Structure 1
Amino acid sequence: MPARRRPPPTNCGRSTVTATSRRGFRCRTDDMCKFQIDRSARRRLRSLLRISARIPDREYSTESDMTSRARPSQRLIAERANVSQSAVSMVVSGQADAQRIPKATQERILEVMREVGYVPNVAARLLRGQRNGLLGVHTYERVFPVAEDDYYHEFLIGIEEAAVEKSVDLVLFTSTLRTDGKRAVYSDGMNRLRLADGAIFFGLEKDDAELLHLKNDGYPFVFIGKRTVAGGDVPYVSADYAGGIAATLDVLQDAGHSDICYLASTERALPQHERLAAFSAEVKLRGIGENVVEVAPSELDSAADRIVASASALMVETNEVAEALEAALALRGVVVPRDISVVVLDTPAPRSAAAGWSHIGFPRREMGKAAVSLLLERLDDPDARESIVLPIVAPGTATVGRAARPRLVG
């Protein structure tokens, strides 16, 4: 049989993007798209959303082929719903509204899909219970971190590098963004992540109900950052916050500081709770007074005088608080580290106002790599370990001076 010719390039609109470690990047909808781009890791990540060509759906070639696999196809759904197969494809790929498929028709198609247990998948191998060599990447954040200055960009770079090393392909699930601006794994009860063998989640945002649903469904996934849902933790890769806090206190105490203030953000998620809990436990163990100030970045200026008067050294929980603190100290003429010592409990962005301050070495890229390794372990053995905790590098002393009370000006 002669090779099936592909149609000319076209923009496929809403899509799922695939990065292949052996052939460059591919962009996939349920009908699959592909394109080649520069091999540079950062250029690839900035170019993930460029789409150029479409390959028709080929889950099953004949009716007998479908029957032999004993799994439902789009053709079967089309017949039962009394619609065209292209209409089914548009619903599956999320293009129904754009193609003006009537709502009633969409609902009829979805109802048949639920009845027959159809799972949208570009790889028939997955429907046969086989691995297809694709690992999914999903975030509940509104925008994928393809820009270099995005906090989560380094995680994504690490994931991509590990995928190259392990000779697996990546699927970035970009079409999970709903009209309300939130991302969702499940759509009409169907898990779109089943395009891939398993998935890596990252980002501050999360959906406990969906994570619990995935866990109960037995779908393999790993979260970058410790996450807890009803019934316990989900598989995760995290950093050793307790070790990082202890190392930071070592640096400050070695410089003679005992009046240490922990500057916490009012926007709190599990990582922030872990850091503060580690600080509370560590200062109690060392016999240091626990001085914690919780403040929003927008309100830090009004609290700055009280903060610097209470301590000779500050441990700043987040980059956002650090930037607000830098502005407040500069306004008052308080010089770091001459007047007060500061350590940031994260890695400031290169162009941040606090970029030159002492900070812990947060292993973001390494965590991305470890997430790939852990997911592959769990795909090979569902009873494999459920977590990896990586060490945090102790802060330097660039903004850690000898203990002295701050000099307030103005």
Structure 2
Amino acid sequence: MAPPERRRRSTQRDIARRAGVSQATVSLVISGGAASAQIAEPTRRAVLAAAEELGYAANVAARSLKGGRNRLLGLYTFESVFPTDQRDFYYPFLLGVEEETARQGYDLLLFCSGGSPAGAASTGGATGAAGGPGPERSIYAGGTNRLKIADGCVLLGRNVRREELSALVREDFPFVFVGRREVDDGELSYVAADYVSATAALVAELARLGHRRILYLRAPEDSEPTRDREEGYRRGLADAGIAVDETLVRSLPDPADLTAERLARWIEELGITALLVEPTEDDRLTGALATLAGTARVRFPQDCSLALLGDPPSWTPQSRDWTRFSLPRAQMAGEAVRVLVELLDQETPEPRQLTVPCAFVAGDSVGPVPAAPAAHTGGWGPGT
């Protein structure tokens, strides 16, 4: 017996012929988003009915006709974040998304394909898992929004393409970013760590211990998390009645430049007794700190107190227990899924921004002001 003939898959041209409209009209209706609002309602229903009859993307047609959903949520990452082990910095985010998606009765779709080569049309210099250059990722690879397979999407990553976030806002595509992100031409939904309050609380703790000369070592990039940390630093000083000294706000392009010699000069010439450090996304800074802690020239906290403004990546119980605040990563990711589902349930969703408190970790690198701190003699400009 000859095998049964395989039925040809229906195309948008078939739908156009069945509904008596142009193929361009079919494309607008099927793709959804803000552009489909140009189509008259009777025409839109005729196209969707034809698509359902012909079996073309039946899930999309059924969702649009009946107000249902694919029951699919997406997770899109702007850089490689898939964990190599459970200590990976991003692992709790992925775990939080997965667990809350299942709890909400959805399936999870991970978008992780690469886009253009590193350096091409870059808006943030995406990095690979080891911190080196990696392939640029693009939501609009090929010119279309690939996320529309899902009902909505959680977005994650440091090296974002701002123009793509703006495009998603213009399309009214439902998404929630894990972390505070802003665009110039719209407002988006996000769930972020409360870096402002957490940083201010660390400054307050240092001030309680008698510290008045507190150096803030910020990331060189002017991202929203860095701006929030700096705002918290300035707020904490103001609350403690300490005037801001701009020479104590600095950045290092290469974390490896944080040497014992440099820190000793800050202690001797600037008179600092405490250091607040913004962690990097890789292990270079914590590696430099481990090297510092292994020298006899500067001891923490005997010679200088040190606190991290966030979690060190790939921290293990065998690592130095730095005083810090810890990001509620799994909670942030779970909240992002909940906010996304709430947006999907609303007829006319409004952007939502949610901040989640961080947890103080006492650690062992902060203590009272040394008995005889070095006298401040000045001499270094900001950003050294």
Is TM > 0.5 for Structure 1 vs Structure 2? Answer: yes
CA distance, structure 2, for counterparts of residue 70 and residue 406 of structure 1: 84
Give the aligned CA root-mean-square deviation in angstroms. 3.7
Change beyond 3 A, Cα 1:71–1:350: farther
- Report if aligned partners of 2:76, 2:154 keep a CA contact under 8 Å in 1: yes
Q: For residues 327-385 of structure 1, what are the alpha-carbon distances to aligned partners after superposition, in whole Å with 9 as ceiling and x for unaligned?
A: 13433432222222211111123249864111102111110001100111111114345
Structure 2 unmatched ranges of 5 or more: 28-46, 119-134, 375-384
Q: Which of 60, 75, 78 is the equivalent residue of 1:126?
A: 60
- Report if aligned partners of 1:152, 1:203 keep a CA contact under 8 Å in 2: no
- Report if aligned partners of 1:374, 1:387 keep a CA contact under 8 Å in 2: no
Q: For residues 212-249 of structure 1, what are the alpha-carbon distances to aligned partners after superposition, in whole Å with 9 as ceiling and x for unaligned?
A: 11110111111111111122442111011111012212
Q: Which of 296, 310, 323 is the equivalent residue of 1:358?
A: 323
**Pairing 1:316-327 to 2, within 5 Å after superposition:** 316-319=277-280, 320-327=284-291
Q: Report what 1:305 is aligned to.
A: 264
Cα offset for 1:176? 4.4
Partner AA of 2:292 in structure 1: A
Change beyond 3 A, Cα 1:213–1:240: same
- Report if aligned partners of 1:123, 1:195 keep a CA contact under 8 Å in 2: no
Q: Report what 1:375 is aligned to.
A: 340
- Report if aligned partners of 2:187, 2:351 keep a CA contact under 8 Å in 1: no
* Bigger RCO (CA 8 Å, 6+ sep): 2
- Report if aligned partners of 1:248, 1:395 keep a CA contact under 8 Å in 2: no
CA distance, structure 1, for counterparts of residue 324 and residue 367 of structure 2: 14
- Report if aligned partners of 2:177, 2:189 keep a CA contact under 8 Å in 1: yes
Q: SS in structure 2 opposite 1:293?
A: strand
CA distance, structure 2, for counterparts of residue 164 and residue 144 of structure 1: 19
Change beyond 3 A, Cα 1:182–1:64: closer
CA distance, structure 2, for counterparts of residue 57 and residue 171 of structure 1: 27
**Matched residues, number:** 313
- Report if aligned partners of 1:162, 1:369 keep a CA contact under 8 Å in 2: yes
Q: Report what 1:13 is aligned to.
A: none
Q: For residues 267-313 of structure 1, what are the alpha-carbon distances to aligned partners after superposition, in whole Å with 9 as ceiling and x for unaligned?
A: 44221121012212331342224322222312212522223333222
Q: SS in structure 1 opposite 2:258?
A: helix
- Answer yes or no: is 1:399 the counterpart of 2:358: no
Cα offset for 1:166? 1.0
- Report if aligned partners of 2:204, 2:237 keep a CA contact under 8 Å in 1: no
Q: Which of 137, 153, 156 is the equivalent residue of 1:183?
A: 137
Q: Which of 228, 234, 237 is the equivalent residue of 1:280?
A: 234
Change beyond 3 A, Cα 1:406–1:340: farther
CA distance, structure 2, for counterparts of residue 306 and residue 365 of structure 1: 39
Change beyond 3 A, Cα 1:219–1:167: same
- Answer yes or no: is 1:331 the counterpart of 2:291: no
Identity of aligned residues (%): 30
Q: SS in structure 2 opposite 1:188?
A: helix
CA distance, structure 2, for counterparts of residue 371 and residue 355 of structure 1: 31
Partner AA of 1:398 in structure 2: D
340-349 or 352-361: bigger deviation? 352-361
- Report if aligned partners of 2:16, 2:23 keep a CA contact under 8 Å in 1: no
Change beyond 3 A, Cα 1:65–1:210: closer
Q: Report what 1:314 is aligned to.
A: 275
Change beyond 3 A, Cα 1:156–1:193: same
Q: Which of 216, 226, 232 is the equivalent residue of 1:262?
A: 216
- Answer yes or no: is 1:388 the counterpart of 2:358: no
TM-score (norm 2): 0.71
TM-score (norm 1): 0.67
CA distance, structure 1, for counterparts of residue 301 and residue 142 of structure 2: 56
Cα offset for 1:134? 0.4
Structure 1 unmatched ranges of 5 or more: 5-55, 78-115
Q: Report what 2:44 is aligned to.
A: none
- Report if aligned partners of 1:59, 1:123 keep a CA contact under 8 Å in 2: no
Cα offset for 1:397? 4.8
Change beyond 3 A, Cα 1:355–1:267: farther
Q: SS in structure 1 opposite 2:204?
A: helix
208-217 or 345-354: bigger deviation? 345-354
Partner AA of 1:316 in structure 2: V
328-337 or 127-136: bigger deviation? 328-337
Q: Report what 1:171 is aligned to.
A: 109
CA distance, structure 2, for counterparts of residue 305 and residue 383 of structure 1: 54
Cα offset for 1:64? 7.9
Change beyond 3 A, Cα 1:289–1:224: same
CA distance, structure 1, for counterparts of residue 273 and residue 188 of structure 2: 40
Change beyond 3 A, Cα 1:134–1:263: same
